[in-house]
Amino acid sequence: MRYRNTYFIGIGGIGMSAIARYCLRKGHSVAGYDRTPSELTRRLEQEGMAIHYEDRPDLIPADRDDTLVIYTPAVPHDLRELVFAQDNGYRVVKRSKALGEISHGQRCLAVAGTHGKTTTSTLLAHIFTESGEGCSAFLGGISKNYDSNLLVSDNDVMVAEADEFDRSFLQLHPEIAVITAMDADHLDIYSDLRHVQEAFRQFASQVTGTLITKPGLDITGKDTSARILRYSFREPCDFYASNLSKDTDGHFTFDLNTPDGTIRGCRCGIPGWVNVENSVAAAAAALTYGIPPEKVKAAIASYRGVKRRFDVHVNTPGCTYIDDYAHHPKEIAAAVSSIRDIYPDRKLTVIFQPHLYTRTRDFADDFAEALSHVDKLILLDIYPAREEPIPGVTSELIFNKVNARQKVLVRKDGLMDLLKDEPVDVLMTLGAGDIDRFIGPVTRLLEDRLKEK
């Protein structure tokens, strides 16, 4: 990028902040706006970025010829800063366009899918880094190995999380790509599952080398000129796990079957069967690129995961607390299934914050079905993010259909008071909104309770 100044509208978003960090590393002067402060924006400020939290067009750098403005489609179209930049001669691009331009001339490995892509792409980046090959990586979560959503390397390898929201991933033309899932989501953008699948097929058509997908996903040689390989948790195909065993903390050891032979005794560094599946996908991409099998195996074992992805905060025989970003019914079902597999005889309490009015409206029945498999549900109000309220759409749409043994509806400001008297065996917080702000208070509450015993 030729600009001296890069200005971000919505700088606190996980994808936006990775590009902001990249621009700062490349010597740009980086500044931006976000609606509210967060732990991530505080970190960005400490790294040297000027961030403000009021809609102030006068704070955009005045030199329009030497300032690139990058915005997230999650901000309102009538935000004064965005309108000012668009009307006053600045070059203004979406986050996805900026990422696409960064990827030009790079050997891009991309991970797409309606769920699983953050863990898989972060593990793929870790395999490249740990193996010594190196990569630059733009991730949709904070890697616990590197405490960042950005990795930078001097080579020309780039790992990217390819986001389907707003068809962002269509800015990428990867050499190797993984597609983890093509479920209905973002129906405010796509309207129905058919259009979601069409976008993924278009993404597949842009892959130049090898496409790695799960069996059952409707992508064939008619959709792409890339070589297609399949991966699975344990269904025999090109890449799959077998001979699985699980320890008491839910970590799996398995043999990884590949077209070139079996890598025996792989141990997944994070718990849950779903992370075996993610490990198989990341390993498939790394092995296809040419990372040696023994280095792939070592990196899978040393991988520590992503913050807010099956993130264990308390783990004792009588009290366990796990947080997860799951906000789609399929993700919630997978998270609950993984917890049940690890702790089959313990009481599972889930606190869920629905994300977006449209998603709640479109998937209320599916949310209710997934959440009916917990012992107790504590359901919060909808987190609106970029959306205005929709008449008649509240958390009660889900709540009234849930068949869990116990369920309670509570506002955010009443959650901690409720938890003070709540017996906890296994507790899980789920959601993509601001439920993460409860992680610290909940962890401290449970740790204090354990000290008192």
E strands of 144-275, at which residues? Answer: 148-151, 157-162, 176-179, 210-213, 227-232, 239-246, 252-258, 261-267
- Running along the chain, 453 residues long, what does each successive block of 10 average in pLDDT? 92 96 96 94 97 98 96 94 98 97 96 95 98 98 97 97 92 98 83 92 98 95 97 97 94 98 97 95 98 98 95 93 95 94 95 96 97 98 92 97 97 96 96 95 95 80
Give 198's contacts (C-beta < 8 A, 6+ positions apart): none
Pairing relation of β-strands 252-258 and 239-246?
Answer: antiparallel
CATH 3.90.190.20 domain residues, the chain: 311-452
Residue 45 near residue 37 (C-beta atoms within 8 A): no
Pair 169, 162: CB distance under 8 Å: yes
Task: Name the architecture of domain 105-302.
Answer: 3-Layer(aba) Sandwich (3.40)
C-alpha triplet 10, 311, 303: angle, nearest 5°: 95
Q: Which fold has domain 5-94?
A: Rossmann fold (3.40.50)
Outline where 372-410 has alpha helix (H).
396-399
Q: Are 327 and 430 in contact (CB under 8 A)?
A: yes
CB of 108 closer than 8 Å to CB of 95: no
3-state secondary structure 86-122: HHCCCEEEEHHHHHHHHHCCCEEEEEECCCCHHHHHH
Kindly report the three-state secondary structure assignment for every residue of the chain: CCCCEEEEECCCCHHHHHHHHHHHHCCCEEEEECCCCCHHHHHHHHCCCEEECCCCHHHCCCCHHHEEEEECCCCCCCCHHHHHHHHCCCEEEEHHHHHHHHHCCCEEEEEECCCCHHHHHHHHHHHHHHHCCCCEEEEEEEECCCCEEEECCCCCEEEEEECCHHHHHHHCCCCEEEECCCCCCCHHHHCCHHHHHHHHHHHHHCCCCEEEECCCCCCCCCCCCCEEEEEECCCCCCEEEEEEEECCCCCEEEEEEECCEEEEEEECCCCCHHHHHHHHHHHHHHHHHCCCHHHHHHHHHHCCCECCCCEEEEEECCEEEEEECCCCHHHHHHHHHHHHHHCCCCCEEEEECCECHHHHHHHHHHHHHHHCCCCEEEECCCECCCCCCCCCCCCHHHHCCCCCCEEEECCHHHHHHHHHCCCCCEEEEECCCCHHHHHHHHHHHHHHHHHHC
Q: Which of these, 189, 209, 154, lies nearest to 74 by C-alpha position?
A: 189
Q: Report the alpha-carbon distance of residue 445 to residue 453 in Å, rounded.
A: 13
| CATH level 2 (architecture), domain 311-452 | Alpha-Beta Complex (3.90)
- Specify the domain boundaries for CATH 3.40.1190.10 within the chain: 105-302
pLDDT recorded at residue 1:
62
Beta carbons of 394 and 382 less than 8 angstroms apart: yes
Predicted pLDDT at 188: 77
The whole model's pTM is what?
0.91
Pinpoint the residues of the chain covered by CATH 3.40.50.720. 5-94
Supply 37's token pair.
Answer: 């402060």
